[in-house]
Structure 1
Amino acid sequence: MSWGYTAKPEAFMEKRSSLYGKVFKTHVFGRATIVSTDAEVSKSVLQNDGRIFVPYYPKSLTMLMGDPSILLINGAPHRKLHALLSSFFKSPSLKAQVARDMEHHLHLSMPSWSQRCSPLRIQDQAKSMAFEILVRALMSVGSGKDMNFLRHEFREFIAGLMSLPFNLPGTRLRKSLQAKKRIMKLVRQIIEEKRKKRKQGLNPMDDVIDVLINDSQQDAQEEGNEIEMKDDLSMANTVIDMMIPGEDSVPVLITLALKFLTDNPTALQQMREENLKLKRLKAQAGEKLCWTDYMSLSFTQNVITETLRIGNIINAVMRKALKDVEIKGYLIPKGWCVLTSFRAVHLDEENFSNPYQFNPWRWKDKEAGGFTFTPFGGGYRLCPGIELSRLEAAVFLHHFVTSFSWVAEEDSIVNFPTVRMKCGLPLTLTPLPSYPSFPSQ
């Protein structure tokens, strides 16, 4: 996997594709692997998830995520859990809450940003905000001791996802497993407290834990405490799974969007004008922005879409074939791993003209769908938080580009083990005349 550490990791794919075609054999993490850089083959793999293919990830990741992880479960249990989470994350009430929470965090942070003499590391700021917002949506934990504990332990946990699979004292994997154990203890305490409130006649539906408890209640009544204890363990695991976007996906999306806008002043200017126009219209009407306003900004959404395409925050998924299967003339043997490379498809000039050019205008009047564009995966395992991720990014970008101009320090994108800016994208900010973005409170 050394190619993952290079500035252009897709060069590995391109070289082998030119020699052997868009589907070829290699070894990844020591496993015999079929790599697909073909959109149609990847589509077939994703759409047959759970029937012909099942998740198949490095041992360190599977050990840390655990058997109940939504990333690893299959069949009816996965479909049920995925449907529950998708319904919750798509709810208008949650979107309104998330938009308000992001505005609140920005309202508290931006005045100090405007007075800074030193560069601001945007990636760190976005991580802090996105993590707190998501944790509140998952289990109603606010700022304070528990939030700080979760933030620290969760970073310890995810640091081992792509580590060497040796559970020995002092190893990265052991430290991450211990961190997850500590997180699980706190999350299960929160679940137990919520169950007690329900028994007292309180029946809130404020967060993901409430939704999961509500779904499990009938089974618990039928089968007793044993199923309740099992459900609590699975729920805690699901909550930890769902914390990952707050630490990685959303903050990196925001950071990369600002990096690409910095490198493309024309796109930045058009996006700033679009957002300032909305800001003026709402001010003239004496109205506050709501979540639908942010999602209505067409060029801003195109910037987010193009950032997802060229940034490739989720660059591939891995599956194992349950039986011999032929797709588009390619034989995938039973037991072999299949790596579907989203990054290779997104950066293929057959799918996108000038694929390495950041060009949000390419999405004008074009639907951001199909299996040539899969930034959130696809098929039955499509990320349930797609719309929420876009919303969080849109809220942050709206207030940032209408409040500041900036100069960026030299920085570079790191692609492995996760996509991120090497130095966090340090920006020296200058407030715009329209600042502040928020009315005094």
Structure 2
Amino acid sequence: MELSLVFLLCLFLSSVLLFLHLLFFKNNHSSAGEGGAPLPPGGSGWPLVGESLAFLSTGWKGHPEKFIHDRIKKYSSPVFRTHLLGENVAVFCGANGNKFLFSNENKLVQSWWPSSVDKLFPTSPHTSFKQESIRMRKILTNILKAEALQRYIGVMDRMARRHFSEKWDNKQEVTVFPLTKSYTFSLACKLFISVEDPSHVNKFAEPFNVLVSGLISMPIELPGTQFYRAMKASSFLRNELVSIIKQRKVDLFEGKASPTQDILSHMLLTSDENGRFMHEIEVANKILGLLIGGHDTASSACTFMVKYLSELPRIYQGVYKEQNEIANSKGAGEMLNWDDIQKMKYSWNVACEVLRLSPPLQGAFREALSDFTYNGFSIPKGWKLYWGSSSTHLNPDVFPDPRKFDPSRFEGDGPAPYAFVPFGGGPRMCPGKEYARLEILVFMHHLVRRFRWDKIVPDEKIVVNPIPIPTKGLPIRLYPR
């Protein structure tokens, strides 16, 4: 009797799921769009969840490119449709897809983030997301442009020396990923909000990691879920930042803080065209976003730099030779400067190849502002659009023998336009690109001049959540120079 009830219940649930699937498919994925042009080829996946689990699980399994590459092969199309994070999504592939999305920013498309990000970083009730993005980009472009960043090099050099002295020197073994996170987070706290005391930085570190882990997740706010923990961490960090912001306002008024000392001061003293200054909670949200952009991606890049240099002695030797020549040209105790950074050409080519093979940013979303046609397919207004770096970074037609580590790809004019996109492109090119370049190169300079190293776990698994992470943190054995 009990088995019969279980069987009937399973049959009923299966029928409901089948009905929902057919209804969902019919309502959301008709074969033609506006004007008669067909929708891109693709599928809807499961009811409600669509193909979200397949999309996320390829990253959890260490092969984030598989979701896109499998569907390119299946549909033989440079654009396909799917259903991700509760939304109809068209995935644009290849350099032409990147070019189309990047060059039509605020014309046919605009930036879009999943609801999990919107809930963790709510926009101001006073302005639209588009207005906030434009205003923030204007502020960051001035603060993070190459000329303005020159004065940060000395601080980066000093903090890198201290980091290696305290965390790496006199150690036989270290675990790289937690150390690079500590380095980049400390640096971001110093340069963005002038927080340098280790105990204060550590107070932020753990909730910050929880927040980052929940950024791209199913927005289910129930105790025990990743998103619930991220919401709690976001609230804690926002409150801490508001306290810092309130004190900074007082310090600026009393002349105890400099208007140009960091990004926080710039934000507090910059008004929009109507003379309106950002509210404290707005500034806190922007600082939180900047800490993610200026810390997590750089820590991933530095970690994978260590990984690849341990696997490729010839590449390591080339970086060491260049960095040693720069060091030998300087006086005792003399800090790195802008001219030194410009000499690190081979090292930056190596860094770019790391970013190609293990990009911290896997891709990003846009939203269609109106109906349009791309490559003969109709894209309806309101659909979400996604580009993924792997569609060019690991494409043999763009980068021959794409799995081979070859820094020479970036010599001369480098890759074709819109093919190398670790920092995005177009009007929404990451404004922190130059900041990341300085941060990575200063880290490389001190790393290779102090140590050689071997990986302790030869074939350590890499997962993506949402950035690439070695599952064991990349433990290495150090050999001091």
The one of 6, 9, 13 equivalent to 2:68 is 13
* Match of residue 4 from structure 1: 59
Count of residues in correspondence between the two structures: 420
Larger Rg: 2
How far apart are the structure 1 equivalents of 2:218 and 2:66?
Answer: 25
1:143 aligned to 2:197? yes
The one of 88, 101, 104 equivalent to 1:48 is 104
1:54·1:322 contact (CA, 8 Å) conserved in 2? yes
Using the TM superposition, name which of 345-354 and 210-219 deviates more. 210-219
How far apart are the structure 1 equivalents of 2:478 and 2:469?
Answer: 21
SS at match of 1:216: coil
Using the TM superposition, name which of 298-307 and 322-331 deviates more. 322-331
* Match of residue 417 from structure 1: 466
Within 5 Å, which residues of 2 pair with 1:200-239? 200-201=254-255, 204-216=259-271, 231-239=279-287
The one of 169, 172, 175 equivalent to 2:229 is 175
Seen in structure 2, the aligned counterparts of structure 1 residues 108 and 332 have a Cα distance that, compared at 3 Å, is closer
Letter in 2 for 1:268: Y
How far apart are the structure 1 equivalents of 2:134 and 2:164?
Answer: 39
Q: Deviations over 1:132-151 (max 9, x none)?
A: 11111111111243322211
How far apart are the structure 2 equivalents of 1:11 and 1:312?
Answer: 15
Which runs of 5 or more structure 1 residues have no equivalent in the other structure?
433-441
Cα shift at 1:101: 3.3
1:79·1:380 contact (CA, 8 Å) conserved in 2? no
The one of 83, 87, 98 equivalent to 2:142 is 87
1:99·1:391 contact (CA, 8 Å) conserved in 2? no
How far apart are the structure 2 equivalents of 1:68 and 1:135?
Answer: 24
Letter in 1 for 2:92: S
1:37 aligned to 2:93? yes
1:42·1:340 contact (CA, 8 Å) conserved in 2? yes
The one of 211, 222, 226 equivalent to 1:157 is 211
The one of 108, 115, 119 equivalent to 1:63 is 119
How far apart are the structure 1 equivalents of 2:273 and 2:113?
Answer: 33
* Match of residue 338 from structure 1: 385
How far apart are the structure 2 equivalents of 1:328 and 1:164?
Answer: 31
CA RMSD of aligned residues (A): 2.4
Q: Deviations over 1:254-288 (max 9, x none)?
A: 1111211222211111111111111112248x844
SS at match of 1:326: strand
Seen in structure 2, the aligned counterparts of structure 1 residues 41 and 312 have a Cα distance that, compared at 3 Å, is same
* Match of residue 436 from structure 1: none
How far apart are the structure 1 equivalents of 2:319 and 2:124?
Answer: 42
Using the TM superposition, name which of 370-379 and 151-160 deviates more. 151-160
Cα shift at 1:109: 3.1
How far apart are the structure 1 equivalents of 2:237 and 2:115?
Answer: 21
1:376·1:383 contact (CA, 8 Å) conserved in 2? yes
Which runs of 5 or more structure 2 residues have no equivalent in the other structure?
1-54
Letter in 1 for 2:98: S
1:318·1:340 contact (CA, 8 Å) conserved in 2? yes
SS at match of 2:180: helix
2:300·2:467 contact (CA, 8 Å) conserved in 1? no
Seen in structure 2, the aligned counterparts of structure 1 residues 170 and 258 have a Cα distance that, compared at 3 Å, is closer
Cα shift at 1:251: 0.8
The one of 400, 412, 428 equivalent to 1:365 is 412
- 4+ runs deviating over 6 angstroms: none
1:405 aligned to 2:461? no
How far apart are the structure 1 equivalents of 2:233 and 2:342?
Answer: 36
Taking structure 2 as the reference length, what is the TM-score of the superposition? 0.81
Taking structure 1 as the reference length, what is the TM-score of the superposition? 0.88
1:412·1:422 contact (CA, 8 Å) conserved in 2? yes
* Match of residue 278 from structure 1: 326
1:4·1:416 contact (CA, 8 Å) conserved in 2? yes
Seen in structure 2, the aligned counterparts of structure 1 residues 319 and 4 have a Cα distance that, compared at 3 Å, is same
